[in-house]
Amino acid sequence: MGACHGCCNNGANGTGSLSLDTFRMEKLAEEEVIVSASTITEFAKRLWPVLSKLAEGIVVNEVIPRVNKTLPGAFNISLRSFTIGQKPPSFGQMRIIETKKVMQSRSDHSDRLRTVLPFLWDSGQEISAVVAGFHVGVANIKIKAEILADWGPIMDSYPVMAGVGITMPDPPTIDFNLTGVASIAELPPIRNAIFRAIDGAISSNFVLPNRFGLPAGRERGVKPWVVTGPPPIGLLRVKVISASNLPNEDMSGQSDPFVEVRVGYLGKTYKTKVVEDAANPVWNEETMAFPVYTLFQKVHCFITDSDFWTPNDAIGGLKDCYIYDIIQDTAAQDYHLYKKDGTRLEDSRIKLAFEWKELAPASVATMKSLKTLKADIGSFPVVLSVLIDKVIGKSNFLQAGFTVKCQIPMAGDEIKEFESSYARKEDGYTGQFIYKRVLKGLTDKKIPVAQQAEITGLSETEIANLLKGGFVTTTPEFDIGSQNHVMMTVEEMQTKKMKISVVQDGSVKDEMEVSISEFVAKESDEAPRPLMMKGGEQIFCKLTMHAVQ
């Protein structure tokens, strides 16, 4: 990784007066360990026969369907042959960082170990397909990214680490070649569709806020959402002020530039107005607030020349502009511009300013004072964390494969929607086993039967039946443990309702609505509360509000 390149008032080379390595050693870590790149690459080589099959599944099940959704029906893609190949990815040096001193940011303190691993996959294979009756080849796919793994939180009891969350701080860099009739000149929609599909399939699974989590296990006292769905640590706004000395990309006259800004994978990119015929455009526009999940994320900002008759021409953008650099000095500064190939445009600059706000859990008492809360946070939104903990349902109603869907209406016709499936079912046999073990322990300690019934929730008759080798009727419990986050205005928090549905085989089996303001947790450590559905199932969930400090 490198510092936020291009800060013109920090040195002629544009890298700033404080390099990232120095900054990391002084501010980010008490100790950093470097693991050899060759060691990691050799490890991946041994695992590649298995990992390549998983990658092929992602392409077949996610990438190709995404491509087909974006193309006219006549151009839908049918695979003829496809393999990831035998060539494993290569890796750079892995840094192991203990992040206990992340500047003034209390939210990103770490009770975790963090590893940052550069990743490059250069496939020598070709995807062979048919598009509109013609042969299409997608060859030499190159994917470059950084993989971030958070090990923890670290606990003072077994299992010590709550698990590991694996993600990418930013969308990967993707490149590929087209062969056959699908050249850029002949079928330009094909390349754009394939790029969006590959980028989307990777980003929707692995780019923040999406992550792949491996919790150590709820039975060991680990809450899975701590690993798989931690909330954002702050909000960032970018003010796009102006640019200077932009190269001319038009055949006649000056470029007509506009700027696109994004952070992480949101499905949203802020786009400024187009300034016509300008080498020194002025925008003075401020983006929406972007949620930030780690200070290792980057701000992506790129200037493009808008063309009416031909595809837009890329001009230049920021390079490696990390958020931990930005929040050191948020005042307006000039940044160097770089082409997509990494070449610096020597005389071209863009002026940006940043506004950074940390997030912290807010109590329901704060919510009740709407004017006070709005005055405290200004125009910034709040973040609603929606935790679906578990489902306890009728023994004959919930079947394998059901999901819990949450829908929150937003401004206009937009609806925030996310769906969670269960990770584990505590079946009847497991319940009998647990009950018998607990009862045996209580009996050995000479605990009276009346107290055993109070402790276990069983009747004295059921206890007697179990101790004789019989069975009791147990209610199935489905462990979900997923957490998602939605940005909302204060007014939306006060007025909107969340719809929760139980979905089986694509159809809604049961649903209900809950007022967000009435159900939001009074305290951040409050336990999930049950919602009783019409059909008798109980969905244990928790709504937590996070507001800027």
Highest mean pLDDT among 6-10, 188-192, 196-200, 379-383: 379-383
Q: Residue 18 corresponds to which tokens in the numbers above?
A: 């404080």
Which residue, among 150, 257, 269, has the nearest Cα to 203 in the 3D structure? 269
Highest mean pLDDT among 41-45, 85-89, 273-277, 455-459: 273-277
Query: For residue 362, how many C-alpha atoms fall within 13 Å in the half-sphere facing its CB?
Result: 27
How far apart CA 479 and CA 403 sit, in angstroms, is 11
Residue range 234-254, pLDDT digits in tens: 999 999 999 999 988 666 667
Backbone phi, psi, residue 436, to 5°: -65, -40
| Rounded mean pLDDT, 376-382 | 83
**What's 219's DSSP letter?**
G
Domains of the chain, each with CATH number or no CATH: 31-211 (3.15.10), 234-359 (2.60.40.150), 363-425+476-548 (2.60.40.150), 428-467 (no CATH)
- SS3 track for 413-449: CCEEEEEEECCEEECHHHHHHHHHHHHHHHHHCCCCH
Residue range 111-151, pLDDT digits in tens: 678 888 888 888 777 777 666 666 777 777 788 888 888 88
pLDDT of res. 497: 94
Residue range 317-375, pLDDT digits in tens: 998 898 988 888 889 999 999 998 889 998 999 999 999 999 988 765 555 565 677 66
Residue range 56-102, pLDDT digits in tens: 777 777 666 766 665 555 556 666 666 777 778 888 888 777 654 44
3-state helix, strand, coil in the chain (%, to 5): 25, 40, 35
Which residue, among 419, 408, 423, 426, has the nearest Cα to 493 in the 3D structure? 408
Higher pLDDT, 542 or 192: 542
pLDDT band, residue 195 (cuts 50/70/90): confident
Using a 10 angstrom Cβ sphere, with 0-12 exposed, 13-18 middle and 19 or more buried, the burial of residue 476 is buried
pLDDT band, residue 189 (cuts 50/70/90): low
Residue 26 CA, distance from chain mean position: 28
Q: Provide CB contacts within 8 A for 165, sequence distance 6+.
A: 149, 150, 211, 212, 213, 214, 227, 228, 230
pLDDT of res. 515: 92
Q: Provide CB contacts within 8 A for 296, sequence distance 6+.
A: 1, 114, 116, 146, 148, 169, 322, 323, 324
| Rounded mean pLDDT, 255-276 | 88
pLDDT of res. 271: 95
Cα→Cα distances 132→72, 78, 135, Å: 10, 9, 9
Average pLDDT, the chain: 77
% pLDDT > 70, the chain: 73
Higher pLDDT, 174 or 83: 174
Q: Residue 79 corresponds to which tokens in the numbers above?
A: 């695979």
Residue 400, classed as helix, strand or coil, is coil
pTM for the full model? 0.77
Place of tokens 């530039």: 257
- Per-residue DSSP letters for 308-335? SSSPPEEEEE-BS-BHHHHTT--S-EEE
Residue range 455-464, pLDDT digits in tens: 776 778 878 8
pLDDT of res. 200: 73
Strand partners, 335: 7, 350
Assess contact for 230 and 224: CB atoms under 8 A: no
% pLDDT > 90, the chain: 20
Residue 50, classed as helix, strand or coil, is helix
Asked, as a colleague might, if the bond just before 281 is cis with ω within 30 of 0, I would say: no
Place of tokens 């980057």: 298
pLDDT of res. 275: 93
If phi > 0 it is left, if psi is from -120 to 50 it is alpha, else beta; for residue 467 that is alpha
